[in-house]
Amino acid sequence: MEMGNTLAFLVFPYIALALFTAGHAYRYVTDRYGWNAKSSEFLEKENLFFGVTMFHWGVLLTLAGHAGGLLIPQRLFDAAGIDAAAHTAIAFYSGLAVGHAAFIGAVLLLFRRIFFRRIRRTTTLNDVVTLLALIFVSGVGVFNVLFGHYDLLYTVAPWIRGIVTFAPDPMLMRDVPVSYKIHILSAFALLAFSPFSRLVHIWSAPVGYFFRGWILFRRKVAE
Ligand code: HEM
């Protein structure tokens, strides 16, 4: 039990993070032309819009919520006047909305990949695995929000802070319910897989686009 817990919540997360880091470096060096979102908008637009918009808003806000809610210690929330009960309530209602958006959006994207011939023909096994993994991780996350009702502020949250500050304490995870453990372990597995998928596009968000100067196009008038 102790050994399994240590392997799952100490060894495995660091293996996943090492693969995540080295995998991105390797992919960047060896496959720079393949480093993109592989847009399929030019093949099919109407059904893409709803799924891709819902999914991206959902997943980006979910990631922001995870970072803010888990990485910031409760004592700082307390200092800001947000006690544990209020923190949990905010996490519950926001998680319910954005988690569902990510999950339903990902299901719609998978349906589109399966049921539209033009999209199916350009879909690889890697694309399907990526979407299935996103559906699984977000699905179990939504399940936990709906049915878990577990107080993770003093267990999962300090554990993940220990992982990112290189002071891990796997014992914090020992009595966490199994559905939370599955969510966490599958999310780390997805992190390890992501450099080898189209998910690399996350790191190339076109932020510069919003700040760049206008590009002027002038018609050349024949004299
Ligand atoms: C950093 C901000 C992000 C930007 C700017 C972005 C942009 C894009 C774009 C342009 C596409 C192609 C859509 C098309 O077919 O035209 C795409 C697809 C996709 N993105 Fe993102 N993305 C971001 C973050 C994320 C995140 C955080 C995830 C998941 C963790 C994600 C997962 C996906 C997936 C799975 C697809 C493929 C959808 C499909 O065609 O089946 N993206 N993204």
Residue 2: the pLDDT is: 87
Residue 33: the pLDDT is: 93
Retrieve residue 161's tokens.
Answer: 């802070």
- pLDDT interval class at 206 (50, 70, 90): confident
Give the residue with greater pLDDT, 132 vs 151.
132
Residue 170 CB partners (closer than 8 Å, separation 6+): 5, 6, 8, 9, 10, 159
Evaluate if residue 27 carries a pLDDT over 80: yes
135, 202, 210, best to mutate for ligand 1 pocket (most atoms within 8 Å of CB): 202
Residue 163: the pLDDT is: 98
| CATH superfamily of domain region 2-36+47-203 | Transmembrane di-heme cytochromes, Chain C (1.20.950.20)
Region 161-174 average pLDDT: 97
Residue 43: the pLDDT is: 94
- pLDDT interval class at 222 (50, 70, 90): confident
Residue 62 CB partners (closer than 8 Å, separation 6+): 95, 98, 99, 102, 138, 141
Q: Whose CA is nearest to atom 36 of ligand 1?
A: 37
Residues with CB under 6 A from ligand 1: 37, 39-41, 48, 52, 56, 59-60, 109, 113, 130-131, 134, 198-199, 201-202, 205
Looking from the CA of residue 119, the nearest atom of ligand 1 is 40
127, 201, 204, 210, best to mutate for ligand 1 pocket (most atoms within 8 Å of CB): 201
Residue 215: the pLDDT is: 86
Residue 223: the pLDDT is: 67
Looking from the CA of residue 63, the nearest atom of ligand 1 is 27
Q: Alpha-carbon distance 76 to 163, whole Å? A: 19
Residue 143 CB partners (closer than 8 Å, separation 6+): 179
Lowest-pLDDT choice from 23-32, 38-47, 193-202 = 38-47
Region 47-51 average pLDDT: 94
Residue 183: the pLDDT is: 98
Evaluate if residue 16 carries a pLDDT over 70: yes
46, 52, 126, best to mutate for ligand 1 pocket (most atoms within 8 Å of CB): 52
Residue 220: the pLDDT is: 80
Angle between helices 84-115 and 125-143 (to 10 degrees): 150
Region 148-169 average pLDDT: 95
